[in-house]
Amino acid sequence: MQEKITILVSERPRQAPADTSLFQLRDQIKPDADIVIYNGAPAMDDRPLHDGDAVVFIRRGEMPDAEELEALMAARHTPGVHRIVRAASVGIAGLGGLGSAVAIALARIGVGRLVLADFDVVEPSNLNRQQYFVDQIGMQKTDALAGTLERINPTVQVQTHPVRLTPDNVSNLFGEVDVLTEAFDRAEEKAMLMETTLRTLPNTPLVMASGLAGYETANRVITRKMRRNLYCCGDGASAARPGHGLMAPRVGVAAHHQANAVMRLLLGEAPEA
């Protein structure tokens, strides 16, 4: 009987004869592939395959099916981590510089369900720091961001609410999320969400942001635990003012602190540790 080896093709095991070469396998599985990835690097030449090798065959412009995408994501994160993240639901209140970046980070790691709320539309001034495009100007932020997330990871369920958040609707919109992210610009909106969440959703962790304006060192942006189920990312001091506005790099650092804090909470870890 001919000896067999096991190759990971898009992270799914596949048996092949021991004398199969890389390009022979390509021709069997996807002969029109433009790019061949062999053990994490592009391969320009044919070569023998060995047991345990990992290959990916890519045809430009072709979207992987949901099963293949899931396998690739699970392998990147490790299956145990990906299973928890995939089952999670995260709310994002406000879809500006913070919220749009948090949403994209969470979609890229494969969070199963994102609940997005913002009443605003995309304006030209948003483009200096928010994750939108020129051709989305005038669109509802919820619609624009949902479209972008669909392109990034179509397996993520996105629920949108193009409404202004008030003390009367926060618990209805976010009552079933595992973690809620605050991503407002205005102090009074931040205070409203914090007070309402602590009162109506006391068991839901809230990840806030404060102190992220300007272009000072990003090394002062940290994640702090403020009280039970309340965390804040930023330097706690750098407010927007003339000559000291909100800019993409520092806002992005704070947003990714928030996304990482959400990830750690989902996995049962302390965000500030």
User: What is the per-residue pLDDT for 1?
Assistant: 66
CA distances in angstroms from 242 to 182, 184, 189, 217, 239, listed in the order given: 24, 19, 21, 18, 10
- Ordered domains of the chain (ranges, CATH): 4-62 (3.10.20.30), 79-266 (3.40.50.720)
Q: What is the DSSP letter of 128?
A: G
Binning pLDDT at 50, 70 and 90, where does residue 156 land? very high
pLDDT digits (tens, 9 = 90+) for 122-136: 999 999 999 999 999
CB 85 within 8 A of CB 77: yes
User: What is the per-residue pLDDT for 244?
Assistant: 77
Helix (H, G, I), strand (E, B) or coil at 89: strand
Whether 223 shows a pLDDT value over 90: the answer reads: yes
Whether 227 shows a pLDDT value over 80: the answer reads: yes
CA distances in angstroms from 142 to 28, 93, 103, 128, 247, listed in the order given: 43, 11, 11, 18, 21
Angle between helix 97-108 and helix 248-266 axes, rounded to 10 deg:
50
What pTM was estimated for this model as a whole? 0.85
Angle between helix 97-108 and helix 141-152 axes, rounded to 10 deg:
20
Binning pLDDT at 50, 70 and 90, where does residue 176 land? very high
Residues 73-98 have a mean pLDDT of 90
Average pLDDT, the chain: 93
Whether 52 shows a pLDDT value over 90: the answer reads: yes
pLDDT digits (tens, 9 = 90+) for 98-125: 999 999 999 999 999 999 999 999 999 9
Whether 73 shows a pLDDT value over 90: the answer reads: no
CA pair distance 231, 237, nearest whole angstrom: 15
